[in-house]
Structure 1
């Protein structure tokens, strides 16, 4: 243990190894039952089978299958074997969703995917810079460019939250019933369920980062 003038600095060292985020440092494990259920559901839908059809072909009740797909029960190996045979996959395949996966998306400069969204026709250009591949939270980072012929558009509205960081140009950005003057270095974070978008394009062209975070819908 290190001390400086009688002070324990162990906690200081620990803090240096963390970011300033309030996200928990301990990652909750994904439940085995939830992972198996998710994979069974995905395989069933890929074969275009109804829950009743898979239950009948695997010799279990539809009620039990529903509980398995929802991660509500821990199925026996015999039940998993029956499901695997009915789905025509090895039993190990049913555990695919329980394996640890830590995604990373890398996009070289200038290679973002151009995405068409509601504002595209108004001269709002969206380049997708990456995406989350798994998990319960979806994250979409965009580089947005408002061209010289861009028009104001304040009717964006979607689930989740959104973070904006202004890179160049100047814009008056509206969220709900308030407007914010934004220039390079300014940031805005808001509930995206309210109507929002650039209300007045003051200095064009302009570019800003937009990061949209939302809960994924379960299949």
Structure 2
């Protein structure tokens, strides 16, 4: 069982968000998961150009670290996103990474995986960022087990004070992977999304050749 934490903060070891991500994966590790932590700022992720090559061929012409990172996600059972609040959204490297995942959304490639998100904010709306990152997970077919937003409010100890809650989030992530916690409402949403994208690619099977072949291989298009 593998849980992958992805932190998008430019502050390195001084990152408050990093402390939360570490607490989540510590909780996951205590439940028996193998864990890995990635600093997104140490990777090169180029911007999506909207060329549509991923829909047509399944490959992106950009030469960077995206494919390696995505392979790690594919080989994980649980995903933890972490990002500070940058004007009610995520920092640029995380957004660039998300924008490169459109083919993953089309194909619902991460169906069957579980995830959660954490964020810190200086003043407010950390929860807004958590909700956004969790929505990205949902859009890719992931079952979301929860999230945690921490407002610093001038208190440098805030992440430590939230560590116990973050660890519980990590434990619930692993329990969900093991099937001890289920999400029937989300599963129904994923079913509806898969049905929608099946129809979309069937109607555009020449333009979305890779996506069409994906659903054929999955047995969802006969």
Structure with greater proportional strand content: 1
Taking structure 1 as the reference length, the TM-score comes to 0.22
- Structure with the bigger RCO (C-alpha within 8 Å, sep 6+) is 2
Structure with greater proportional helix content: 2
